[in-house]
Amino acid sequence: MRRLWLIFAQTVTVSLAVFFVVSTLKPEWLGRRSPAGTSVVALQEQASSSPPVFAATSYRDAAAKALPSVVHVFTSQKIKARRSPLFDDPVFRHFFGDSAEGDGPKTSGLGSGVIVSANGFILTNYHVVEGADQIEVALSDGRNLDARLVGSDPESDLAVLQISEQNGKQLTLPAMTLGKMDNIGVGDVTLAIGNPFGVGQTVTMGIISALGRSHLGINTFENFIQTDAAINPGNSGGALVDSQGNLIGINTAIYSRSGGSLGIGFAIPISIARDVMEQIIQTGSVTRGWIGVEAQEITIDLAESFGLPDTGGALIAGVLRGSPADAGGIKPGDILLAVAGRPVKNPQDMLDLIAGQKPGETVAFRLRRQNSMLETNVKIGKRAPQRRER
């Protein structure tokens, strides 16, 4: 009896072991299905039949779309020779003439630009064409054409050129599609297109490293896109495009100790560039708001000394007498918290928000004065044009 019991127990144990192995490795032999009602074989077949997902391995379509719209900008500037005192001598001028004074040598510069309209408007950096006596643009198809300066904005480092008609014929040029800042974010792939070191049209790839970069001391109004796409001298004024070939920025500056790319480049966002470009095309200049105050950043120490809850806002350090701010009741020591309902985070924010207001309009300002909050209306004035510091 005991022998039969041992045989039965061993048989059950072996059967359970075989059942476990088969159900794990070959459940289809048992006709079993997954909890969702699908057998493992069916799931494998379904997975193999679904289309594979691949990461983009080439951006040739984006480059092909954008390349024809990027141009090379060549400039020249005459350097006036220092006048010799001998030219004040009538005898000297009698023998050598006025032509002996001559012109000084010429300096040349190079950069890039982006065609933004089919009738020849080109967007570039102001520092590319600053002080130029002659501007020439080389198109991607090999044509070299003269260009005129429509207008410039030194405070944002932007300028608009226009290509002259060729042989009296109106040109039709490949304009780049303008992108939208709402559609881009940190980590998106970008292509930088320009003419680095004058070697010719070049495309480099990277990602958007950061948005809203400011306090760099490059321009008065700063809100840069930072990218690690290689940007070098000669790329200034060129295009920063997205993976679809749409223009999202104008390449402007690099952070470098050697003059070469270190993977930190800055581009002016298309949202700012579009606004400046439209004003220049319509009026030849850019109009910005102004109220006549000097602002200071609120540090942690200042916040503690003033008893402030945080470091947000801009401390009004000075008010110009007779300015719109003076007329609106703003006083030194006030903390500006909002302009037209939009919060002010720091002095740069304050400058941008006020500059974006239309001169002549009355705008609401929210202030903190000592321990109380107050609202005041200020009639916006017109900001005087500022020269770019070299």
Summarize the confidence of residues 98-102 as an average pLDDT.
49
What are 37-72's pLDDT values in tens digits? 444 444 344 444 555 555 567 889 999 999 999 999
Q: Among 283, 299, 314, which residue terminates a domain?
A: 283
pLDDT of residue 188: 92
User: Which domain CATH number covers 295?
Assistant: 2.30.42.10
Examine the domain organization and report whether 253 and 294 are in the same domain: no
SS3 category, 29: helix
Number of Cβ within a 10 Å radius of residue 54: 6
Q: Are 318 and 255 in contact (CB under 8 A)?
A: no
Residue 264 three-state SS: coil
Contact partners, residue 372, CB within 8 Å, separation at least 6: none
- Determine, yes or no, domain membership for 298: yes
Please give the pLDDT value at position 183.
83
Give the least confident one: 40-54, 108-122, 134-148, 174-188. 40-54
Phi, psi of 73 (to 5 degrees): -115, 120
Predicted pLDDT at 238: 92
Is 17 among the domain residues? yes
- Residue 54 inside a domain? The answer is no
- Asked if the structure places residue 296 within a domain, the reply is yes
**In this predicted structure, what is the pLDDT of residue 45?**
46
pLDDT of residue 47: 46
Q: How many domains in the chain?
A: 4
**Could you tell me if 203 and 274 lie in one domain?**
yes
Q: How far, in whole angstroms, is CA 327 from its chain's centroid?
A: 36
Lowest pLDDT segment from 86-90, 136-140, 208-212? 86-90
The CA angle 239-161-351, to the nearest 5 degrees, is: 70
What average pLDDT does this structure show over 348-371? 90
Does residue 191 sit in helix, strand or coil? Answer: strand
Contact assessment for residue 380 and residue 361, using Cβ atoms and an 8 Å cutoff: yes
Q: Are residues 277 and 335 in the same domain?
A: no
Indicate if 369 and 300 belong to the same structural domain.
yes
Radius of gyration from C-alpha coordinates of the chain: 33
Residue 262, pLDDT above cutoff 70: yes
Backbone φ, ψ for residue 160 (5° rounding): -120, 130
**Is 389 part of any domain?**
no
Are 301 and 266 in the same domain?
Answer: no
Q: Counting every residue, how long is the chain?
A: 390
Same domain, yes or no: 79 and 147: yes
Q: Which of 226, 250, 283 is the last residue of a domain?
A: 283
Phi and psi at 253, nearest 5°, equal -150, 160
Which of 138-147, 239-248, 254-263, 300-309 has maximum average pLDDT? 239-248
Q: Is the pLDDT higher at 77 or at 363?
A: 363
Average pLDDT of every residue of the chain: 82
Write out the catalytic residue numbers. 127, 157, 236
Mapping DSSP to helix (H, G, I), strand (E, B) and coil, where does residue 116 land? coil
DSSP 8-state secondary structure symbol assigned to residue 218: S
Least confident interval from 43-47, 87-91, 155-159: 43-47
Of 247 and 164, the structure prediction assigns the larger pLDDT to 247
Q: Which of 205, 181, 228 has its CA nearest to residue 56? A: 205
Residue 224 to residues 27, 128, 231, 267, Cα–Cα distance (Å):
59, 18, 14, 5
Q: Please give the share of the chain, as a percent, with pLDDT higher than 90.
A: 44
pLDDT of residue 38: 46
- Residue 128 is predicted with a pLDDT of 92
Cα 315 from Cα 293, distance rounded (Å): 10
**249 & 200 share domain:** yes
Over range 217-245, report the average pLDDT.
Answer: 89
Query: CATH number, domain at 221?
Result: 2.40.10.10
Q: By residue range, what is the domain housing residue 253?
A: 181-283
In a domain, 90, yes or no: yes
244 and 262 part of one domain: yes
Digit-coded pLDDT (tens) for 329-350: 999 999 999 999 999 988 888 9
Residues 198 and 248 placed together within one structural domain of the fold: yes
Does residue 68 fall inside a structural domain? Answer: yes
Alpha-helical (H) ranges within the chain are: 2-25, 40-49, 60-66, 90-96, 126-129, 270-283, 300-306, 324-327, 347-355
Q: Which DSSP string corresponds to 267-330?
A: EEEHHHHHHHHHHHHHHSS---EE--EEEEE--HHHHHHHT-SSS-SEEEEEE-TTSHHHHTT-
Q: Is the domain of 69 the same as that of 128?
A: yes
Residue-wise pLDDT tens digits, 278-297: 999 998 889 899 999 999 99
- Both 70 and 136 in one domain: the answer is yes
Residue 172 lies in a domain: no
Tell me, yes or no, whether 295 and 266 share the same domain: no
